[in-house]
Chains A and B, each alone.
Chain A
Amino acid sequence: VDHYRVSPKKAALGTLYLTATHVIFVENSPDTRKETWILHSQISTIEKQATTATGCPLLIRCKNFQIIQLIIPQERDCHDVYISLIRLARPVKYEELYCFSFNPMLDKEEREQGWVLIDLSEEYKRMGLPNHHWQLSDVNRDYRVCDSYPTELYVPKSATAHIIVGSSKFRSRRRFPVLSYYYKDNHASICRSSQPLSGFSARCLEDEQMLQAIRKANPGSDFVYVVDTRPKLNAMANRAAGKGYENEDNYSNIKFQFIGIENIHVMRNSLQKMLEVCELKSPSMSDFLWGLENSGWLRHIKAIMDAGIFIAKAVSEEGASVLVHCSDGWDRTAQVCSVASLLLDPHYRTLKGFMVLIEKDWISFGHKFNHRYGNLDGDPKEISPVIDQFIECVWQLMEQFPCAFEFNERFLIHIQHHIYSCQFGNFLCNSQKERRELKIQERTYSLWAHLWKNRADYLNPLFRADHSQTQGTLHLPTAPCNFMYKFWSGMYNRFEKGMQPRQSVTDYLMAVKEETQQLEEELEALEERLEKIQKVQLNCTKVKSKQSEPSKHSGFSTSDNSIANTPQDYSGNMKSFPSRSPSQGDEDSALILTQDNLKSSDPDLSANSDQESGVEDLSCRSPSGGEHAPSEDSGKDRDSDEAVFLTA
């Protein structure tokens, strides 16, 4: 363990430790000993900045949008840390990743159970498959036809192996049309594939037969939509490379449609630009809005949503099946299919259903997690926030349909975190085939089991299974409601606690609901006892010992209270002062990391970090009715006061 004295920007002096998996910063301040843990796999960029009088600054940007600045007194130490981190942040072998060393103290059986929690065969059964139009095909057994597809695939019954193989040869990366979602109510389906290798004039009989088979599998409609999610110009350019899009003249009864979602490079740059805006030291409102517009991020989000809405409408209202593709059919196609499924099927809006949806449309269909999220050192041009965009689409929907989702914002944020954390094996590699070869399930743990175990943290209190919003398709207005799409500060500025609402309605309502449940139980118990007493006029003095109930009860109400009494911290707010303190974010990272660390093998770690996690958060809220903010905060405030008057 290396040992450095370090001071991040906001006054916190401490010691930096580098371990095989984490960067750990422990503050010197004796009463808090606050810790910041950063997984190496979360590190996006490390920037060595010009040395100043105080030391050598190192800026670390994380993939979960945390930004940390370390000031290391000795230039040489700084260089060493820099070199080490560069190496540690870019592992070259899967075995170096955290999930292979992460041990949440579960036995083998529990681990195996974790991996079967989400079962795709069950999911297809739930959709109503197989049926007399769709069947499970074993054509991709041992990944013989397409190595980025799963082995278990549903295809129309009339699509013979000959047709499938023929069609696969006419599609990029042999990703032939397969079923993604089947809409029981009217037999329409969402299928997915990659682009056809049509060039300027090539055609393929089997591919045409394949689309025909998809159409026939839906007796309710006499045509199939083919949705190319790329901008038309991009698709046309692909023709020169022997790829391209379906010619309506060659395929009988298709309706072809472009939906212009930009490619991964545009999206990567867009996020980059938006993050630059988030990172501005004290932006004016114009800086922010202009930067947001200029990044184009919300425009891209809307494009993905629009595509999803189009498909959901085609399926549910027109009863038509849809074939979706982009270029390779693993980025935009995954986004669009999963958004459409989410709109169509309430099951995907539940906790488990959402895990299934990601498992199905992203993990099983070969979304290239390793390349897109840079788990291993690779081509930076492959990196792109594809699933981040999908997760944001879900959040945008949650904002508009607050009762429709069983899970809350925290669930989305933690999934995003773990897509990059490499702490669990789910998102490793680029395909099912690679994961099987690596024996991921035998060597790592599943995130889904972890999330499911802690599901109480992820519930949306407004969700009720019998609520009208949880039934059927979500209907969005067709008008171009740009204003519906909002900047998600809970994600992109989530480590800037000061910017977030200081009281969480979700947490408050969850506490109320929990109390309600206790009350229900108590009520029942009281009624029972009352009945007993009334029946048998017994001596009841002993019952006095049951005092625990009222006291337990008052415990809940203080917990409610504590939510209202959020600690005050004004330093992060007055944007005219240096407010973007990296230390602000620490709590959250600690929250996430420590939850996991609690299960890690090192008992010392878990003991320490417990104080730093969300538990600590609550404890500083607890001085109910207290006049003053915690001392730490008031200290910060003094800083900012000075700054105010300086600027004034």
Chain B
Amino acid sequence: MEFAELIKTPRVDNVVLHRPFYPAVEGTLCLTGHHLILSSRQDNTEELWLLHSNIDAIDKRFVGSLGTIIIKCKDFRIIQLDIPGMEECLNIASSIEALSTLDSITLMYPFFYRPMFEVIEDGWHSFLPEQEFELYSSATSEWRLSYVNKEFAVCPSYPPIVTVPRSIDDEALRKVATFRHGGRFPVLSYYHKKNGMVIMRSGQPLTGTNGRRCKEDEKLINATLRAGKRGYIIDTRSLNVAQQARAKGGGFEQEAHYPQWRRIHKSIERYHILQESLIKLVEACNDQTHNMDRWLSKLEASNWLTHIKEILTAACLAAQCIDREGASILIHGTEGTDSTLQVTSLAQIILEPRSRTIRGFEALIEREWLQAGHPFQQRCAQSAYCNTKQKWEAPVFLLFLDCVWQILRQFPCSFEFNENFLIMLFEHAYASQFGTFLGNNESERCKLKLQQKTMSLWSWVNQPGELSKFTNPLFEANNLVIWPSVAPQSLPLWEGIFLRWNRSSKYLDEAYEEMVNIIEYNKELQAKVNILRRQLAELETENGMQESP
């Protein structure tokens, strides 16, 4: 195996590990193809297993012959290894560097991971598009599944099966695809059962500077409107940016050609702006030296919460159009793979109770992120500590999770999952033993044969034992639309993610435990009382029967 070549020193003794809020541990450091392992010899409990793919950056320092490697992880944790011996230290450092930046996806851990649990339900088949379609096909016949993209020929970033208006045939879809960025023709994202309104998403129309139009495109989206009704197009770029896009062949829907649609621009930032925001935020969280004013000014300067507010506002607007205005909407930005998905998925969290359940949320991620072609591989390649500036990294998915957390915080009883579920998804999007978040779209995942060669994250998560960790004890099904506040006062920093390694969570964990206990005890009593009631009722009827003759 090639890994052996990369591992210059597989094992070093007397390494000291420093982690926040843990005492230093001395032990043996081992490098394997995918893990960095530190085990103390005294007992087996003090072990660190770190996926190489979780390593975002490393720093080396030397004091005499004692080397220190500081490992900065994609989950924002920072750990320090003191390694005796300059050569060992250098070897370890260069090995880690090589192993954490493998070029080939097929060398990644998910291709080697052998699960230690029995797969009850194969997560690769948990959320099939046909099943998802069935959920609303009973309510409407206006939509159909199309297999036009079966070979990924029409749109490389779309899944093989998409939902489109019934009245539009595959031929028309092919034509529309040529008019939309990346071939991403408008498809159904969400059907609001309450009033039949829909969210569609797509790439930008390729109008260019000379105002190209596409009759099929107009027909397609008009097909979703009820007679006499108007719809809204939410462009996730500012008008300015959208106008500039025309010079590069992109653009936006002209009023003249889409008279039944009203366009709203809601600017959401993308790419390096978001990445820089994350880098600044994490830097601010890690900086313990400054005073209160400096902390607040750094928090402000990171703009992270500004992005949160922007995204949530756009999602609320979309949900408002659907639920309050009774109008269908089409959402797109440029490619329709980032901010578009943030908005469509958050709008569903607001509108649809199912997406606030664990299964429903998994289905949402499957549908609106994985199938919809959010390029996870590109976006999550590096995290907050990367110093190599690459073009494609952006914490788009993390921002989405943060927004979900914000809504969860405002409606703590309306979600079946808890904060840990969101944190877990964040971790696995960046480094995982599972294949779920590998690749940039379905087409790539197919080529990699992920379903055959790797394990799905859902197979693991959906085991009862794991689920219990992610279940919100406060959950009570809430069938209402939930409208979050987007006022700055209502949007705090997500401490569970960003301060996770900078503060002890002992007291908060205890509080959570206490909460679970209170509810568990209540349920226990409830069960006991029910049993007794039944017994009593049985006895009573028995007595009654004895009495009646």
Binding site for B on A (CB under 8 A): 278, 283-290, 292-293, 296, 298-299, 302, 400-404, 461-462, 464, 467-469, 477, 479-487, 489, 493, 496, 498-503, 505, 508-509, 512-513, 515-516, 519-520, 522-523, 526-527, 529-530, 533-534, 537-541, 543-544, 550, 553, 560-561, 563-566, 568-570, 572-576, 579, 625-627, 629, 634, 637-638, 640-641, 644-645, 648
Contact = CB atoms under 8 A, between A and B. Distances in A.
Contacts of B504: 477
B7 interface: no
B263 to A, nearest CB: 8
Given A400-B507, A462-B514, A544-B540, A502 B324 contact: no
Given A483-B503, A512-B519, A534-B539, A298 B529 contact: no
Contacts of A486: 492
B499 interface: yes
Given A288-B489, A530-B535, A541-B540, A293 B313 contact: no
A292 to B, nearest CB: 6
A355 to B, nearest CB: 24
A411 B546 CA distance: 57
Given A498-B487, A499-B487, A530-B536, A298 B292 contact: yes
B66 interface: no
B309 interface: yes
Interface stretch (B165-173, B380-388, B407-415): B407-415
Among A283, A486, A644, the most chain B Cβ lie within 10 Å of the Cβ of A644
23 contacts: A289-B305, A289-B488, A400-B508, A462-B511, A469-B510, A481-B503, A482-B291, A483-B495, A483-B502, A486-B492, A487-B489, A499-B489, A503-B414, A505-B412, A513-B518, A516-B518, A516-B522, A520-B525, A530-B535, A538-B543, A564-B413, A564-B477, A634-B324
B488 A293 contact: no
Interface in B469-496: 474, 476-493, 495
Interface string B253-286: 0000000001011100000000000000000010
B194 interface: yes
Contacts of A537: 543, 546
A539 B515 contact: no
Interface in B314-351: 316-317, 320, 324-325
B15 interface: no
A127 to B, nearest CB: 26
Nearest to A282: B487
Contacts of A569: 483
Interface string B280-306: 000001001111111111011001011
Nearest to B263: A648
A496 B266 CA distance: 25
A540 B518 contact: no
Contact of B483 (A482, A565, A573, A576): A573
Contacts of A634: 324
A517 B518 CA distance: 11
Interface in B519-548: 519, 521-522, 525-526, 528-529, 532-533, 535-536, 539-540, 543-544, 546-547
Closest 6 CB pairs between A and B? A288-B488, A402-B511, A293-B296, A289-B300, A570-B483, A482-B295
Interface in B7-56: none
A508 B522 CA distance: 12
A575 B412 contact: no
Contact of B539 (A467, A509, A540, A648): A540
A526 B532 contact: yes
B510 to A, nearest CB: 6
A46 to B, nearest CB: 25
A561 B264 contact: no
Contact of B487 (A467, A481, A509, A579): A579
Contacts of A627: 194, 479-480
B514 A403 contact: yes
Contact of B474 (A493, A508, A566, A575): A508
Contact of B414 (A500, A553, A564, A645): A564
B276 to A, nearest CB: 15
A173 to B, nearest CB: 32
B440 to A, nearest CB: 31
Contacts of A501: 409-412
B487 A483 contact: no
A570 B507 contact: no
A574 B264 contact: no
A403 to B, nearest CB: 5
B483 A568 contact: yes
Contacts of B511: 402-403, 462
A503 B475 CA distance: 11
Contacts of B489: 278, 288, 487, 489, 493, 496, 499
Contact of B485 (A402, A519, A563, A572): A572
A62 to B, nearest CB: 18
Contact of A289 (B299, B476, B518): B299
A496 B514 contact: no
A563 B413 contact: yes
A167 B543 CA distance: 85
Contact of A284 (B292, B299, B488, B525): B488
B533 A403 contact: no
Nearest to B476: A564
Contacts of A400: 507-508
A648 B303 CA distance: 23
Given A499-B489, A508-B413, A570-B483, A299 B264 contact: no
A480 B543 contact: no
A541 to B, nearest CB: 6
Nearest to A580: B487
B510 A403 contact: yes
A489 B320 contact: no
Contacts of A483: 285, 295, 493, 495, 499, 502-503
A238 B502 CA distance: 40
B486 A575 contact: yes
Among A487, A527, A540, the most chain B Cβ lie within 10 Å of the Cβ of A540
A288 B292 CA distance: 15
Contacts of B481: 568, 629
A512 B525 CA distance: 11
Contacts of A496: 487, 489
A537 B489 CA distance: 64
A384 B42 CA distance: 59
Contacts of B514: 402-403, 462, 464, 467
Given A501-B411, A565-B480, A637-B324, A469 B490 contact: no
A523 B528 contact: yes
Given A278-B489, A299-B291, 7 more contacts: A402-B514, A467-B510, A498-B485, A498-B487, A513-B522, A575-B487, A629-B481
Contacts of A534: 539
A569 B491 CA distance: 17
Nearest to B317: A644
Contacts of B266: 648
A110 B481 CA distance: 48
A577 B146 CA distance: 41
Nearest to A511: B522
Contacts of A467: 510, 514
A561 B479 CA distance: 11
Contacts of B295: 482-483
Among A479, A526, A550, A576, the most chain B Cβ lie within 10 Å of the Cβ of A526
A534 B542 CA distance: 12
A579 B194 CA distance: 27
A480 B288 contact: yes
Contacts of B297: 289-290, 293
Contacts of A401: 507
A641 B321 CA distance: 8
